[in-house]
Structure 1
């Protein structure tokens, strides 16, 4: 059961606020949930400067965009490598028999089935890279809205009898 809020808790919130602590910092220092401290801060007419949060969010967004760009490049490099292997010599190994007899051989290029698998894998890498590029091209807003809309619709379906 949660500990009841006391006037001493109000005083502690005000002291921490006056010292420049963030809302999250106050909640952590007091061992209370963020929402509980937010309600107390609202009741005490305390406001928090969101500029630092906005700056941190912008920095995290930029970092994530850079990571996606790096991943996009890696996917394209791997796709190119796989596509190039379609026309390169391919080594094969077979194991079999009661004596576990190993047979090694090389073909001038992969079998048609292996060529198809290589091209499938290369195509998948290109598709993923294109999705990343598309996401970053529009800021991901459309995908985010679509995801949220889908979640809301799914929740409505579950809630309605």
Structure 2
């Protein structure tokens, strides 16, 4: 989509000068387009006329993007480990003694009680915490089961081959019956 006024011969030299300067400052094609109020295509065309290319920077941007994506994957994996730890810690509480406390009574006393295990309602709450932590952990870093995939594909291939053979045999029998 075109932006700005049409480029006249008078404006063209000024735009090309600005492109040279902004390119020398290390600005990207899209940044230059935004600064000058022009489309990216216009900037590329005008830059091409003065011998400027943005292709070299494309490789740098791609490499930087790849590094950033790898960093984010590492951070997701680290956070998935933290969520797994939370799930395991909370799951262990389900069968452990639990200290209950309360403020109450006429004198507003503080009281504690050590139960041999959590109440059913507290167990349900702990299970919800465990389930949520595990679910989020698995979404961040899904488990890899590559051996099952290969076996499944081999089984499907065998099945398709068998079905193809049966179909061909049926077709041949049908043709033989029609010919007789």
What band does the TM-score fall into relative to the shorter chain? Answer: 0.5 to 0.7
Cα-to-partner distance string for 1:32-86 (whole Å, 9 max, x where unaligned): 17x7362442231243121000000000000000001001111111100000011
**C-alpha contact 2:100 2:113 (8 A) present in aligned 1:** yes
Cα-to-partner distance string for 1:91-147 (whole Å, 9 max, x where unaligned): 11112245322211111111111111111111111111111123x96xxxxxxxxxx
**1:37-56 maps to which residues of 2 (within 5 A)?**
38-44=40-46, 45=48, 46-48=52-54, 49=56, 50-56=58-64
CA distance in 1, matches of 2:133, 2:31: 45
CA distance in 2, matches of 1:37, 1:67: 36
Gaps of 5+ in 2: 145-180
CA distance in 1, matches of 2:31, 2:80: 40
CA distance in 2, matches of 1:54, 1:89: 54
CA distance in 2, matches of 1:56, 1:36: 26
- Partner of 1:21, secondary structure, is coil
- Cα shift at 1:31: 7.6
Change in CA separation of 1:21 and 1:91 when aligned onto 2, cut-off 3 Å: same
Correspondence 1:62 to 2:64: no
- Which residue pairs with 1:142 in the alignment? none
TM-score by length of structure 2 reads: 0.61
Larger Rg: 2
- Which residue pairs with 1:11 in the alignment? 17
Gaps of 5+ in 1: 138-161
CA distance in 2, matches of 1:38, 1:128: 40
CA distance in 2, matches of 1:24, 1:125: 43
